[in-house]
Amino acid sequence: MLLAACAQQPRLESPLRPARATIVSYTLEGRISVKRGATARQAALVWQHNAERDEIELSGPLGQKAARLSRDAGGARLETASRETVVANDWSSLAERVLGVALPLDNLAHWVTATTIEAERDTQRDPVGRPLRVWDSGWQINYLTYESAAPDALPTLIELHRDDIDVRLKIDTWQLD
C-alpha cells in the first residue's frame, strides 16, 4: 500500500480540456495592444479560429466595432468600421499593407495555444513542460500566465517582441469547439 501511494500517478486528460496540440478550433475573447516605437494601439478582440477560416473582430474602448479581419483559402481581408475593405494573399501581407508592420498573424494561431512547430528547438519550458519563451520567425514569444497550473492549460497572457514592435495579448476566455 505504501508503494502504491508513492507511485507516480498517470496524467489524466480533462474531458473538457484536450491537450493543446490537439486543438483544432477555438474562440477566444480578450484584449490586444500593439506598440511600435512611440505609436501604440489597443483593442478588444473576439477571435474565431478553425483550420479553414479565421475571423477576428476588433472593438474600441467603448465597444464600437473598429475592424474585422478574416482569412480563408481565398486570402485575407480587413473591413473597417467605415466599410473600407483591404485584400491581401495572407494575414502577414495584409498587416504590412495596412499597418506598415509585418505582424506574425500567420503563426499567431499556433502561438496563442502555446503549440510550437518549427520553433521546438528554440523553446524554454516551465517545470510541467509548457512553453515559457519561444523564438520563431524572428519573434520572441513570452508566455507570462496560463489559465491554471495544469500541463495542458492554455495561455492567458502572451507578449510578442521583434525589433521595435511589442504585441501584448490578454486572453479573458477560451472556448474550445
The 10s digit of each residue's pLDDT in 107-163 is 888 899 998 665 456 889 999 989 999 998 888 999 999 999 999 999 999 999 999
For residue 101, what is the enclosing H or E element? none
Contact between residue 113 and residue 20 where contact means Cβ atoms under 8 Å apart: yes
State residue 18's pLDDT score. 61
Mean pLDDT over 1-19 rounds to 41
45: closest CA among 135, 107, 105?
105
Residue 7 lies in a domain: no
Residue 47 lies in a domain: yes
Residue 126 lies in a domain: yes
Contact between residue 109 and residue 49 where contact means Cβ atoms under 8 Å apart: yes
Residue 66 lies in a domain: yes
State residue 120's pLDDT score. 55
Residue 6 lies in a domain: no
- Domain of 44? 26-176
Residue 123 lies in a domain: yes
Who has greater pLDDT, 166 or 1?
166
What's the pTM value of the predicted model, to 2 decimals?
0.83
pLDDT at 14 over 70: no
* Number of domains within the chain: 1
Query: Dihedral (C-alpha) 102, 106, 111, 117: value to the nearest 10 degrees?
Result: -120
Predicted confidence band of residue 26 (pLDDT cuts 50, 70, 90): very high
Q: Which CATH number fits the domain that encloses residue 108?
A: 2.50.20.10
State residue 20's pLDDT score. 81
Residue 8 lies in a domain: no
Mean pLDDT over 34-53 rounds to 92
How far apart CA 52 and CA 42 sit, in angstroms, is: 27
State residue 122's pLDDT score. 82
Residue 13 lies in a domain: no
State residue 130's pLDDT score. 92
